[in-house]
Amino acid sequence: MSTIKTKDGTQIYYKDWGTGKPVLFSHGWPLDADMWDSQLNYLAERGYRVIAFDRRGFGRSEQPWTGYDYDTFASDINDLIIQLDLREVTLVGFSMGGGDVARYIGRYGNERLAGLVLLGAVTPVFGKSAANPNGVDLSVFEGIRDGLRKDRAQFISDFAAPFYGTNAGQTVSEGVLTQTLNIALLASLKGTIDCVTAFSETDFRDDLAKVDVPTLVIHGSHDQIVPFETTGRAAAEAIRGAELKVYENAPHGFAVTHQEQLNQDLLAFLQAR
C-alpha cells in the first residue's frame, strides 16, 4: 500500500491515481478515501493526478489513541503534500474534511495551492456556542457519541438515512448502504468518537479569512446533517470571491446522490484554473 509517516510517526494510507495537475481529497466522517472513487476515476481519466488519503484512525491508516484534532489533521495533510512534493494542488474537503483543508490553509498558507473546494463542509463553525448561537446544539453531538458507544454498527446504519436523504425522497442502492457501513466499521471507535467533538467544536473562521485562492463551495439545500445556512452559505460569504453552488434538494451525501453533477462541477472548476 502507498503510505507516508507523519511527524508523530502515524502511518497514513493514500491513493494516487493519474498524472497531471494534482487534486487532493479529504473525506468526511465516518468514511475514508473510498468515498471519492467516482470523483478520482472521473478526474484521472481527464488528465488530473488525484490523491485521496484515509484520515488517521480511519480506513487503512493507523489508529493512534490520540491526535484527533484539527491541528493534527492539518499537519498530516502538510506532511502528505510535502512528501509527495505537491504544487499547484487543489484541495477538496467534504464535511469534516472541509475543516481539515481550511485548517491546513490557516496553518500552512496558500503557497502550494491552486484552489479550494468545500463540499457540505462544517466550516466556518458547526456547533452552537456563545460565539455561534445559530449552530447545532451540542447536545446533538453528545447523542451521537452516546450512540456510537452503545452500538456503533446500528447507529451508523440508521445515520445513513439522513446522510443520503433516503428519508426525504432520495434513493441510493443497497450496495452504497452496505459499503458505507463497512467503511465506517473499519475505523477506530476512539477516533470516530473524538472526531465528533473535533468537528462540532472547532472554529474555522480565522482559517477561512486566510484563504487566498479561487474557491468553490457546494452544499445541498436539504442537508440534514450540516445545515446549509450556517455552514455552506456562511463559508462562501467568509471567503473572498468564493463561488457558491447550491444543489436543490440535495442531501449531505450528494457525492453519491448527485455524482454526475458533482463530477462535472469539479472538472469545470479545475479547468478554469
Catalytic residue chosen out of the listed positions 26, 61, 95, 200: 95
Catalytic residue chosen out of the listed positions 16, 223, 258, 265: 223
14, 2 Cβ separation under 8 angstroms: yes
**Please, where are the H alpha helices in the chain?**
37-44, 70-83, 96-108, 138-164, 174-186, 189-201, 205-209, 232-238, 254-257, 259-271
Give yes or no: 95 in active site: yes
Q: Cell 457519541 belongs to which residue?
A: 145
Beta sheet of 89-94, edge-to-edge order: 3-5, 11-17, 48-53, 21-26, 89-94, 113-119, 215-220, 243-247
Buried b or exposed e, range 79-101, using 16+ CB within 10 angstroms: bbbeebebeebbbbbbbbbbbbb
Give yes or no: 222 in active site: no
Q: By three-state DSSP, how is residue 225 classified?
A: coil
Catalytic residue chosen out of the listed positions 27, 219, 222, 252: 252
Rounded Cα–Cα distance for residues 44 and 19 (Å): 7
Give yes or no: 26 in active site: no
Rounded Cα–Cα distance for residues 76 and 53 (Å): 10
**Which residue type sits at 232?**
G
Catalytic residues: 95, 223, 252
